[in-house]
Amino acid sequence: MTHRHIKIGVTTVVLVLAFSGLLWSTLREGTEYYKHVDEVMTNPHEWEGKRLQLHGFIVAKSILVNPNTLEYRFRVQSNGHVVDARYTGVVPDTFKDTPGEEAEVVLKGRLNDDGFHVDPNGVMAKCPSKYEPSKKVG
C-alpha cells in the first residue's frame, strides 16, 4: 500500500466514526414512543423514564388547576386504564373537563412512579368536531 492509500483509509474511518457518533447521539435524545394509555399502563415499569407521546382521553371532572402557578393535575384514560398526569403551563383552549364529552389529548413527557410528567408545551388537545365528516342533507 502506498502512503496515499493509507491517508484515504484513515480519513474514511475517521469520517465514518464521526458521522456514526453524531447520528447515534442525535437519535438517542430525540427518540419518543407514541403509545396509548392502556399500552403503557399494562406494564408501567417498562416505560418509566422513557420519552413518550401518550394518547388518551381526559377523565371527566378530574382536572385540578392552581391558577397562581398554572399547575394542572388530571387523569387520562384509554380502554379502562388510567394514569395521573401533571403539567405546568398554559393549556390549549380545547383542553376541557366537560361532563359527557371526553377531551382527546396527546401528552409529551415521561412516566415516573407517581404518574406522567408532561414536558413544557407538551399538551396537544384534539378537537374531534373539526375532523368529523360533514353530513350531507338531501
For residues 91 and 42, membership in a common domain is answered with yes
pTM for the predicted model, two decimal places:
0.69
Q: How many domains does the chain have?
A: 2
Tens digit of pLDDT for each residue in 36-50? 999 999 999 999 988
For residues 72 and 117, membership in a common domain is answered with yes
Residue 130 has pLDDT above 60, yes or no: no
Output the average pLDDT for the chain.
85
Residue 33 CA to residue 18 CA, distance in Å, equals 27
Tens digit of pLDDT for each residue in 9-31? 999 999 999 998 888 777 666 67
Residue 137 falls inside a structural domain: no
When mean pLDDT is compared across 2-11, 28-37, 111-120, the lowest value belongs to: 28-37
Residue 138 falls inside a structural domain: no
Please tell me the predicted confidence (pLDDT) of residue 29: 61
Please tell me the predicted confidence (pLDDT) of residue 91: 87
Please tell me the predicted confidence (pLDDT) of residue 138: 53
Residue 49 falls inside a structural domain: yes
Which domain does 71 fall in, by range? 32-129
